Amino acid sequence: MRTFRADLHIHTVLSPCGDLDMSPVRIVEEAAAKKLDIIGVTDHNTTRHCRLVRSLALKKGIFVMTGAEITTKEEVHCLAFFENDEKLKLLQDFIDANLPDMLNIPEIFGEQLEVDENEIIIYEEKRLLANAVKKSINEVEAFVHSLDGIFIPAHVDRMKNSIYSQLGMLPDNLKADALEVSRATTTAKFAALHPEISKYPVTRSSDSHYPDSIGQFTTAFFMKEASFSEIRLALAGAEGRKIIQE
Amino acid sequence: MKISEIISALNLKVISGDKGLKNEVTGGYVSDLLSDVMGNAREGNVWVTLQTHQNVVAVSALKDLAAIIIVKGLAPDNDTIEKSNIENIPVLSTELDTFNITGRLFELLNKK
């Protein structure tokens, strides 16, 4: 077993807030340059870029966790990851059924573009992805776990779109596989303020919207190989796998 | 003023937490960010919100709030109803939006 460096929270140009330079090609180049072993594709309320990033990354030996950053009804951002395309499709269906039919205004919120491996624009998402889905955080968590996905409330330390900002405290009945802290803090600092987080594994990621920040904040996974099932074991601290807190 | 008086004056529906209907009201607070409510609501306040998550009851219990009014006829989550009955903090419902129910509540509490 060895340590794998993962940046599990990266936005592509498909997210309204994602920079136009955040094409799948560029993201994979940056991740390779920064010697990351694992990256997570987590656009706001969409999975459309996951497959392309994964196929490009595979050629560079980088493992991709495919999923999305879902905005719950309470406007809490949560990362959700799924093991295969079949489940990823069900996540997309879940989002499509629950995202309001409000149109994006690119001048205000940003472009929502899908590009191909030649960086040609092939699709523009018309619905505003920054919106909240019509499901509570507990309902989203239950959905993710019904498909054996991994559920990680994002940037819990931020006083914007986090569990603590929106819901005041960790809900006692929420089954999170981990909690993510942002670049603004460290696990140790945040645990000093909120000791209750210590019962969860804590990941730290870049939440990149620009190429430069990819890999600036990472989580070290100690495990056998870069795979979904190994990451799940590491999050659970099972069979000798674990997250190494830095 | 007691919660029960506010319920009849504002035509609110009692969803749960009946045992808290005699709670005495000291004032009101309006916010949809629970972190803000934790920091700023005061004991005995009636809290007006659109949030329906069970944490509204947890925060109310922590701050000793008198009751929660959920606006626009939104349905509280099942866990919220259960917790409200355990904590004896009434969850009340109105069809009105936050602006309109708060205006009426303010007028009622400041009448005497």
pLDDT, tens digit, 9 for 90 and up, residues A58-95:
999 999 999 999 999 999 999 999 999 999 999 999 99
Q: Which residues contact A214 (CB under 8 A, 6 or more apart)?
A: A7, A10, A27, A30, A31, A34, A36, A39, A206, A208
* B30: enclosing H helix or E strand: strand B27-30
- Check residue A245 and give its pLDDT: 79
From CA A18, how far away is CA A10, in angstroms rounded?
9
The alpha carbon of residue A167 is apart from the nearest alpha carbon of chain B, in Å, by: 5
Mean pLDDT for A191-195 is 93
Instruction: Check whether B86 has a pLDDT greater than 70.
Output: yes
- Check residue B111 and give its pLDDT: 85
- The predicted-structure confidence for A219-233, as pLDDT tens digits, reads as follows 999 999 999 999 999
Q: Own/partner pairs for B104-112, CB < 8 Å, 24+ apart?
A: B104/B10, B105/B6, B105/B10, B105/B28, B105/B46, B105/B48, B105/B69, B106/B28, B108/B1, B108/B6, B108/B9, B108/B10, B109/B1, B109/B25, B109/B27, B109/B28
Task: Find the CB nearest B53 among A164, A165, A167.
Answer: A167
Residues of A in contact with B77 (CB under 8 A): 136, 138
Q: Which two tokens stand for residue B33?
A: 């960010």
Q: Percentage of residues in chain A with pLDDT exceeding 70?
A: 100
Class of the CATH domain delimited by A2-244: alpha beta
Please indicate whether, in this complex, the C-beta atoms of A168 and B77 are within 8 angstroms of each other: no
- Check residue B39 and give its pLDDT: 94
- The predicted-structure confidence for A121-165, as pLDDT tens digits, reads as follows 999 999 999 999 999 999 999 999 999 999 999 999 999 999 999
What is the band of B65 on the pLDDT scale with cuts at 50, 70, 90? very high
Strands A38-41 and A63-71: parallel
The C-alpha angle with vertex B49 and arms to B45 and B53, in degrees rounded to 5, equals 110
Q: Burial of A71 by CB count in 10 Å (0-12 exposed, 13-18 middle, 19+ buried)?
A: buried
The answer for B 27-86 residues in CB contact with A (under 8 A) is 33-35, 37-38, 51-55, 58-59, 62, 77, 79
Mutate to test the interface with B, among A75, A141, A167, A194 (most CBs of B within 10 A): A167
Instruction: Check whether A30 has a pLDDT greater than 80.
Output: yes
Task: Find the CB nearest B55 among A73, A159, A171.
Answer: A171
- Check residue B52 and give its pLDDT: 97
Instruction: Check whether A218 has a pLDDT greater than 80.
Output: yes
Domain boundaries, chain A: 2-244
The alpha carbon of residue A150 is apart from the nearest alpha carbon of chain B, in Å, by: 22
Residues of A in contact with B53 (CB under 8 A): 74, 136-138, 167, 171
Cα–Cα distances in angstroms (integers) from residue A240 to residues A198, A237, A243, in the given order:
19, 7, 10
Domain boundaries, chain B: 3-109
Cα–Cα distances in angstroms (integers) from residue A45 to residues A41, A97, A103, A146, B101, in the given order:
11, 11, 14, 18, 33
* Mean per-residue pLDDT of chain A: 96
Q: Percentage of residues in chain B with pLDDT exceeding 70?
A: 99
Task: Find the CB nearest A167 among B55, B62, B79.
Answer: B55
Task: Find the CB nearest B51 among A74, A159, A169.
Answer: A74
* Mean per-residue pLDDT of chain B: 96
**Which residue does chain B place closest to A75, by CA atoms?**
B33
Chain A residues within 8 Å of chain B (Cβ atoms): 73-74, 136-138, 159, 164-169, 171-173
From CA B54, how far away is CA B84, in angstroms rounded?
8
Mean pLDDT for A97-115 is 94
**Which residue does chain A place closest to B49, by CA atoms?**
A74
Superfamily of domain B3-109: HprK N-terminal domain-like (3.40.1390.20)
Please indicate whether, in this complex, the C-beta atoms of A165 and B33 are within 8 angstroms of each other: yes
- Check residue B112 and give its pLDDT: 63
Please indicate whether, in this complex, the C-beta atoms of A166 and B34 are within 8 angstroms of each other: yes
